[in-house]
Amino acid sequence: MEANAWMEQAEQAILHTYNRYQIVLERGEGVYLYDTNGKKYLDFAAGIAVQALGYGNKEYNDALKTQIDKLLHTSNLYYNQPTIEAAKKLCEVSGMERVFFTNSGTEAIEGAIKAAKKYACEKDGTTNHEIIAMEHSFHGRSLGALSVTGNAHYREPFEPLPGIVRFAEYNNLSSVESLVNEKTCAIILETVQGEGGIYPASEEFLTGVKQLCQEHGILLILDEIQCGMGRTGHMFAWQGYGVKPDIMACAKALGCGVPVGAFLMTKEVAESSLKPGDHGTTYGGNPFVGAAVSKVLDIFKEQKITAHVQDISVYLEEQLEQLKKDVPMIGARRGLGLMQGLELKPDVPAGEISRKSLEQGLLLITAGNNVLRFVPPLVIEKEHIDEMAGILRKIFSEYE
């Protein structure tokens, strides 16, 4: 069937909540994807920062095939070995003490919020606690996750949303401090804002928020769904700052394509928050995703993925900085590791550049209205960065 026929069939059967790019992807190999017409694309989107190992990793694929022949699902009424192994490894690399596996990043945020509220309730016996979140943040599209997402465009059609949430200015400590009161139970933020435009937290800000939490008995929730799992050159971005959260959410590259998320917490929070019956999931942490997470963590360790990111990201930053110098339409570069953004001048639509990139065989996505987002597989090499930069130079020169 032709690509147009596939897309027409999709529009007839699938709820239209995405304005999809006009290609039908069929297979992947390494850091490249191929559509149903056989066209090859260099992937600098990685399924929105999911495919950390690229495509076709034999060790990963074999682990999943083996688990399929053993056991896919049992429910959480029983233990299963792959998920126990995955939990132990994830706690070790994160420095956290307890983990709850979910099916997505949004669910991880929901669980993190519930844990923080239950912790506060256990502490003072009341239930009218407040959360401080950040402007321009993005934490997911379920009602609870939307309530802490700092973009009115996402929230307004679904209001009133649950809970009392106050929004502070990201990287402005005094803005956060001014919102703290006796009912504040948690402060939630992305260690690196993704959808909001690729903004890393400043060291002063993150350290200050942590100190504020400690002074007032507030829990710090860090959303590492996009910036975690090695993307910044540390297993989790907060490790580069030395600021440990009380609760952390992760997903995306955690399963490298298998839908799985998790929220983790310290032992103290675990022992004073969610109890049997407070939270649950039918599919979360099933043997199949447990096998995926376990193997992903093994590969990260064996192949020294974070060290590679630290090395290769220097070259990516250099090439993006050179692009910024050479192309007048680019206003700024920012990011950490292999989570980078090029902010375009106001009259240059990032979406149009992204579409032109697609035509030239490069997958790029946007962040906000005018930022090109670079979140490639963590296994890219210099030649892939050169190829990407060459395509972008051609596009910008033609656009001018």
Helix H or strand E encompassing 391:
helix 382-399
Looking from the CA of 377 toward its CB, the CA atoms found within 13 Å total 23
pLDDT surpasses 80 at 400: no
pLDDT surpasses 90 at 126: yes
Give the E-state strand segments of 150-232 in sequence order. 164-168, 184-190, 192-193, 199-200, 219-223
Token pair 């095939």: residue: 65
Q: What is the average pLDDT across 330-336?
A: 97
pLDDT surpasses 80 at 340: yes
Q: Alpha-carbon dihedral of residues 37, 40, 42, 44, nearest 10 degrees?
A: 10
- At residue 1 the predicted structure's pLDDT band, cuts being 50, 70 and 90, is confident
pLDDT value of position 399 = 83
**What does the angle CA 329 – CA 332 – CA 337 come to, to the nearest 5 degrees?**
130
Q: Find the distance separating the first CA and the last CA of the chain, reported in whole Å.
A: 37
pLDDT value of position 265 = 98
Q: What is the average pLDDT across 374-379?
A: 98
pLDDT value of position 369 = 82
pLDDT > 90: percent of the chain: 98
Task: Please tell me the distance from the alpha carbon of residue 383 to that of residue 386, in angstroms, as a whole number.
Answer: 5
pLDDT value of position 70 = 98
pLDDT value of position 260 = 98
Count of other CB atoms within 10 angstroms of residue 216: 14
pLDDT value of position 300 = 98
Indicate the DSSP class of residue 76: T
pLDDT value of position 247 = 99
Q: What is the average pLDDT across 347-362?
A: 96
- In this structure, is the dihedral angle defined by the CA atoms of residues 95, 99, 103 and 108, taken in order, positive or negative? negative
Task: Please tell me the distance from the alpha carbon of residue 177 to that of residue 150, in angstroms, as a whole number.
Answer: 17
Average pLDDT, the chain: 97
Residues in the chain: 400
User: 61 is written with which tokens?
Assistant: 């694929």
Count of other CB atoms within 10 angstroms of residue 55: 22
pLDDT value of position 392 = 98
- Structural domains of the chain, ranges and CATH numbers in brackets: 3-56+304-399 (3.90.1150.10), 71-302 (3.40.640.10)
Token pair 């997402």: residue: 149
pTM above 0.95, yes or no: yes
pLDDT value of position 61 = 98
- At residue 58 the predicted structure's pLDDT band, cuts being 50, 70 and 90, is very high
Indicate the DSSP class of residue 201: P
- At residue 8 the predicted structure's pLDDT band, cuts being 50, 70 and 90, is very high
Task: Please tell me the distance from the alpha carbon of residue 393 to that of residue 386, in angstroms, as a whole number.
Answer: 10
Q: What is the average pLDDT across 343-362?
A: 96
Q: What is the average pLDDT across 32-48?
A: 98
pLDDT value of position 62 = 98
Residues 67-87: tens digit of each pLDDT: 999 999 999 999 999 999 999
User: 287 is written with which tokens?
Assistant: 């043997």
Q: What is the average pLDDT across 184-203?
A: 98
**What does the angle CA 100 – CA 104 – CA 108 come to, to the nearest 5 degrees?**
45
- At residue 91 the predicted structure's pLDDT band, cuts being 50, 70 and 90, is very high
Q: What is the average pLDDT across 346-363?
A: 96
Task: Give φ, ψ of 153 to 5 degrees.
Answer: -60, -40
pLDDT surpasses 90 at 199: yes
pLDDT value of position 303 = 98
Q: What is the average pLDDT across 378-396?
A: 98
